[in-house]
Structure 1
Amino acid sequence: MILSLSGSIGAIGVNMQTGLRMAIEEINSAGGIMGRKVELIERDDAGDPTKARTAAEELVEKQGVSLIIGTTISSPALAIAPYATERKAFMLGSPSADQVNDPKQYPYLFTGTIISSMQAQIVVKYVAEVMKAKKIGILAESTAYGNSTVAAYKAELEKRGFTNPPTEQIPQGAQDATLQVNNLKKAGVDAVLAATLSMDSVRVLKAMQSAGWEVPYVGTSDLSSSVVINGVGVDGMKRVYSYNQERMSFSDKKPLTPKTRDFLDKLSKKLNQKPLKDSAQMHSLYYDLGYILKWAVEKAQSTEGPKVAAALETMKDFEGAHAVWTFTKDNHVGLGLDDIVMAQSAGLKDGAFEMAPGY
C-alpha cells in the first residue's frame, strides 16, 4: 500500500488507509485470499512523486510485492506507473488525472476514482444547467490532478459556449490564495469550478470569505471532508457543492442502499463514533478496493500483475458499498457517470451526504 498519510492531503490518505484495513481484516477473518492471509505492507508518500517512486521500488525489489494499492492522488501514481509497467506490478488506487486511464501505456494501472474529464462533465453540467451560471471561472492547484482538471473543465465549458474562462492556479500547499480569488472576483465570475484538495481548498474558501465574495464553489468530493468543513466553518460552506458517489448520497426520494448502510455501521463501530462526523467516501472507496483486489486475484488464481490485471478487466457490475464496479480492457476506470451526483458539501449526515438541489 502506498498512500499519502502525511503532508497537505494526509487526512485523505488516513481515511483511505482505515477503509482498506477494514477490508483486509474482514478478508483475513474469512480465510484470506486463495487460502492465504493478506499481509499489508504500508508506505507513506506524503503526496510526493519522488517518495512514491522510491517506495514502489523498495516494495517491488526488496519486499517482493507484485500488487500495490494506491496511490492517493495522481502525481505519485504517474511517477510510479512507468516503473510498474516495466516490472509488471499491478496498481489499483485513486488517481484521477486522465493520463492514468491509458491501458496501452499503463496496462497494470487501474483507478477507483472518476478521472478529470468525467469530473468535469458532471460539475460543468451542474453549474451550467442547474445553477445557470453566466460567467464561470476555474481555480485549481498546480499539480497533475489540477492541470488535468483545468483542461477538462475548459473542454466541457467550450462545448457549452463558455470560451476562455478566467483561470487561476495555486501551488499545492500555498499559504495564501488571496491573489487568485481577487483576480476571479474582478473578472466578474459568478461560479467557480474547483480543482483543489484538503487544506488548499480551506485557504481558497477562507480567502473568498475575507473578500466578501459569496459565489458557488463547485468541485471534488474532498470539499465535503471534515478537514475542509472544520477548516472553513459551516457558515462558509453554504454555497459549496461537490460531486459524490451516488451510493454515498441520499435524498428524500433515494435512501442509502442496505450494503452502504451496513458499511457505515461497521465504520461507526471501528471508529467508535456514532453518528459519523466525517465523510465516509474515502473509507468506502478503499474498503471496496480491498474486495476488488480479492476478486481479481481469485479470478486470476494468481498474484502475478499481468494475470490480475487481465482478470480485473472482466469485472462487471461488482456490487460494493461505494459503487457498482465495472472494468474493461479499454477502460481502467471502474466508475461511470451514472455513479456520481452532486451533493451539498456541508450536508453530512452519519457519513453520507444530502444531494444538492436539482436531484
Structure 2
Amino acid sequence: MNRKHFLAALATLTAGLASTGAQAQGGPIKIGEVNSYKVQPAFLEPYKKGMELAVEEINAAGGLLGRKVELITRDDNGNPGDAVRAAEELVSREKVDVLTGAFLSNIGLALTDFAKQKKFFYLASEPLTDKIVWQNGNRYTYRLRPSTYMQSAMLVPEAAKLKKKRWAIVYPNYEYGQSAAATFKQLLKAAQPDVEFVAEQAPPLGKLDAGSVVQALADAKPDAIMNVLFGADLAKFVREGNTRGLFQGREVVSMLTGEPEYLDPLKDETPNGWIVTGYPWYGIQTPEHKAFYLAYHRKFNDYPRLGSVVGYSAIKSLAAGITKAKSTDTEKLIAAFKGLELMTPFGKAVYRPQDNQSTMGAFVGKTKNDKGRGTMVDYVYLDGAKFQPTDAEVKKLRPAE
C-alpha cells in the first residue's frame, strides 16, 4: 500500500472510531420496564401514559447527562417467570441501563430477586407487598408506592374510631392481599386490643365467586368489613354485596377503592361512606399537581388515574437518581438513591436510606355516590414518612447487606 492510500485508510479508520465513540457517548439512556399490561389494563394503560409524559418532558429539557431517554417496555402476562425472562432479555439483549415496573406483588418479588442475583438496579414502581423492602429487600431494589404497611397504617386510625368489635376481612389470595390483610389485623389489634376477626375470605385473584363470599361474610354477622379486593373482583363484590344487603348498617374500610381505576367503573353501584385510600384528582389544588394535571390532559385529552401518577413519578425518580449519580452505573445509582429527594404530583418524596422505601403518601377519604358517579369526599393527603415502623423494627425485618 503506498503512502497516499495508507493515509486515506488511516483517516477513514480514525473517523469511524470517532463516530463509534460519539455514538456510544451520545446513545440513549435506556429504561427497561416490565409489567402486566394485558392482565391489569385499568391501571397500567394510564401508568404507561404517565411514563411517556415523563420521558417526553425529560427529553424536551435536554435529556439526562446530555443524552436522550428511551423507554423499552415488556409484558409479563401476569406471570413471575415471564417477568424474569423479560427482565433478562432487557438487560442482556437490549442493554438497558436500569429496570423498573411490576404491578402484582408476586412479580415485584421475582424482579427484586432478579435484581439481587444480577446486581442490577431496579425501581419497583407499583407492587405493594412489604417484603420488597423488608424481608426480601436488597441493596439493588427501591420502591416508589406506599406499601401495604403504610396504607394499612393510614386506614387503621379511622377504623379504630369506628369502635367496632367484630370485623370480617376479604382479600385476594396472593402476596399483596395476604400482606395487606396481615398488616391490617396486626395494626388494628394494637390500636384496639378487644377487636375480633370473625370471618376471613381469600378468593383467588380474578376468580371471585361473589355470591358465596358475600354470603359467608354475612353469615358471620360482623360489625365492620375490611376489603382489599380491587379491579373486576371489587366490582363483583360491590354488586353482590349491594344486592344482598351486606353493607347495610355495616362500616367498610377498603384499600385502593378510591383510585379512579377501580372507583369509576362502579358508577351508580358506588357505595356511600366507605373509608378508602385513593386519588381524588378532581380536587387536588397544589401547584405540582395542577402542573401535572394540565400536562397530562394536554397530551392525552383525558384525566389522570393513580397509575398515571405512579408511572410519571417512577420515571422522574430514575431521572433524579441518574442526575444525582451523574451516571447509570448501578453502584453509583444505589448511593444516589439513598435519601434521594424529588418532587412528585403529590409533593416531595424521599427514598429512605433505612429500607429503600419512598415516602410518597396517599389520600384517605370516603366514597360518595354523586348522581351515579363514584367520588371521594372528606379526603386528606397523608405523608408516607409518618406511617412507617421504627428504624429498629425495620432493622429486624430487613436482611443485613
Q: Same fold (TM over 0.5)?
A: yes
Q: Which residue, 179, 199, 214 being the options, matches 2:212?
A: 179
Q: Which residue, 196, 215, 234 being the options, matches 2:268?
A: 234
Note the C-alpha offset of 1:351. Answer: 12
SS of the equivalent of 1:333 reads: coil
Q: Which residue, 70, 91, 109 being the options, matches 2:101?
A: 70
Q: Which residue, 220, 227, 232 being the options, matches 1:199?
A: 232
After superposition, residues 305-324 of structure 1 pair within 5 angstroms as 305-316=330-341, 318-324=342-348
Note the C-alpha offset of 1:264. Answer: 0.9
- The aligned amino acid for 1:340 is A
Q: Which residue, 356, 367, 377 being the options, matches 1:354?
A: 377
- The aligned amino acid for 1:234 is D
The answer on 1:332 being equivalent to 2:356 is yes
Q: Which residue, 148, 161, 166 being the options, matches 1:116?
A: 148
2:221 counterpart residue number: 188
Note the C-alpha offset of 1:72. Answer: 1.7
2:327 counterpart residue number: 302
2:21 counterpart residue number: none
Q: Which residue, 236, 243, 255 being the options, matches 1:220?
A: 255
After superposition, residues 140-179 of structure 1 pair within 5 angstroms as 140-159=171-190, 160-161=192-193, 162-179=195-212
- What is the root-mean-square deviation in Å for CA atoms of aligned residues? 2.6
Q: Which residue, 265, 269, 284 being the options, matches 2:298?
A: 269
Do the aligned partners of residues 185 and 80 (structure 1) sit closer, same or farther apart at CA in structure 2, a change above 3 Å counting?
Answer: same
- The aligned amino acid for 2:182 is A
Do the aligned partners of residues 223 and 104 (structure 1) sit closer, same or farther apart at CA in structure 2, a change above 3 Å counting?
Answer: closer
Q: Which residue, 83, 88, 96 being the options, matches 2:128?
A: 96
Task: Tell me the distance in 2 between the aligned counterparts of 1:227 and 1:345.
Answer: 12
Note the C-alpha offset of 1:34. Answer: 0.5
Superposition TM-score, scaled by structure 2 size? 0.78
Segments of structure 2 that go 5 or more residues without pairing to the other structure are 1-32, 383-401
- The aligned amino acid for 2:290 is R
* Conserved? CA contact 1:249–1:354, under 8 Å: no
Note the C-alpha offset of 1:345. Answer: 4.0
2:76 counterpart residue number: 45
2:391 counterpart residue number: none
Task: Tell me the distance in 1 between the aligned counterparts of 2:369 and 2:78.
Answer: 28
* Conserved? CA contact 2:368–2:374, under 8 Å: no
* Conserved? CA contact 2:238–2:269, under 8 Å: no
Task: Tell me the distance in 2 between the aligned counterparts of 1:327 and 1:15.
Answer: 24
Superposition TM-score, scaled by structure 1 size? 0.87
SS of the equivalent of 2:122 reads: strand
1:126 counterpart residue number: 158
How many correspondences in the alignment?
Answer: 342
Segments of structure 1 that go 5 or more residues without pairing to the other structure are none
- The aligned amino acid for 2:134 is D
1:343 counterpart residue number: 365
The answer on 1:243 being equivalent to 2:243 is no
Q: Which residue, 318, 335, 338 being the options, matches 1:293?
A: 318
1:80 counterpart residue number: 111
Note the C-alpha offset of 1:103. Answer: 8.7
Do the aligned partners of residues 175 and 135 (structure 1) sit closer, same or farther apart at CA in structure 2, a change above 3 Å counting?
Answer: closer
Q: Which residue, 288, 312, 326 being the options, matches 1:259?
A: 288
Per-residue CA deviation, residues 73-121 of structure 1 (Å, 9 max, x unaligned), is: 3111111211111112211111110101139842111111111112111
- The aligned amino acid for 2:267 is G
More deviation, 339-348/180-189: 339-348
Higher gyration radius (CA): 2
Do the aligned partners of residues 141 and 323 (structure 1) sit closer, same or farther apart at CA in structure 2, a change above 3 Å counting?
Answer: farther
